[in-house]
Amino acid sequence: MYDQKLEESWIEAFVRVFELCNLKPGERTIILSESLSRPVNVHLAELALSRMTAPYFHLQVPSPAPEPGPIIRSSGASLALTGQDDAVRMLAGCDFIVDLTVEGLMHARETAAILKGGARIMNISNEHPDALARLVPDPAMKDRVKEAVAACRSAETMRVHSDAGTDLKVAMSGAATVGVWGWTDRAGTLAHWPAGIIVSFPREKSVNGRLVFKPGDMNLTFKRYFESEVIFTLADDYVTAIEGSGADARLMRTYLEGFDDRLAFATSHVGWGLNPGARYEALTMYDKADTNCTELRAVAGNFLYSTGANEFAGRFTRGHFDLPMMDCTIALDGRKVVDRGALQ
């Protein structure tokens, strides 16, 4: 699938995103990729920057060798810059970074140092360009997301319920909330495309309750829809039990236990999707090699619960699940922002 004709609409989509990032003449721009990055997307980024007459150079690092243990997918915590101190310094000294690493720099250890230097990072998820072109950011999304961010930052408590039995309480005081509308035009910030999502990273000992995943919910790490019920019990951020008689529960238990790391069972972030253009059924339309599932995180009205790295609680781990749940009700201090899967 990588050796393919480039569509004009794909190039135009990349140009549009870079325009939204307010790329200016004279800015120091780097395309960051690794040896296993999707070649077609790297080429599209090069063509788009060239069409905009934006000077750039391409920094490619070798992809890390696979390690024994669980297979890493859709983690948002790229290891491509591990040990690459010269590359990190170079990135921290530039203005604009097109992040085309396979896993993305969202939760990478090195990201804070790069952003501290004033760079802005535009992560382009490892998707087939067809998906990217369908989900070119809508400028109207910015206000929508910023309103949701303000609501989360002022809230003391998030409650999540569902008819399936979910009953989750999240202490929001001190949580770090970020919204992603699909582009970054401010120094020291990161955005990803596809987008249209809000996520909050709770402080330690802030998440308690029960999550009931039902058939049709999504496990983006495994790139599949749930086919059987799975029940998570959470105490002080940690998943303490994974119950269920089907393959889904067994796969999830086996995967997390394989890290031999208690932090893999901890809460990373909670939030919800805001993008009406993101398609729930998209996971059925692409081969697994052609999707990174970022679109599914943004499906309007889904509740997104994620395990793994939470830099705001001082936790880093390679283990990660992104688990969008449908038909949930989300309330902030008693005010519904999502009602049974419908944005309010």
pLDDT in tens, 137-188: 999 999 999 999 999 999 999 999 999 999 999 999 999 999 999 999 999 9
Which pLDDT score is estimated for 67? Answer: 82
% of the chain beyond a pLDDT of 90: 88
pLDDT in tens, 259-275: 999 999 999 999 999 99
> Is residue 37 predicted with pLDDT exceeding 60?
yes
> Is residue 298 predicted with pLDDT exceeding 80?
yes
Which pLDDT score is estimated for 3? Answer: 62
Q: What is the pTM of this model?
A: 0.93
CATH number for the region 8-134 comes to: 3.40.50.2300
Which pLDDT score is estimated for 43? Answer: 97
Which pLDDT score is estimated for 1? Answer: 43
Evaluate whether 183 touches 123 at the Cβ level (below 8 Å): no
Q: Which of 73, 74, 92, 83 is nearest to 32 (CA)?
A: 92
DSSP helix/strand/coil, 170? strand
The residue that leads in pLDDT, 302 or 117, is: 302
pLDDT band at residue 318 under the 50/70/90 scheme:
confident
Q: Which of 184, 163, 147 is nearest to 332 (CA)?
A: 147
Domain locations in the chain? 8-134, 141-180+194-343
State the distance between the two ends of the chain, measured CA to CA, in whole angstroms: 40
Q: Which 8-state DSSP code applies to residue 220?
A: T
* Average pLDDT estimate for 74-94: 91
Q: Which of 274, 292, 301, 23 is nearest to 132 (CA)?
A: 292
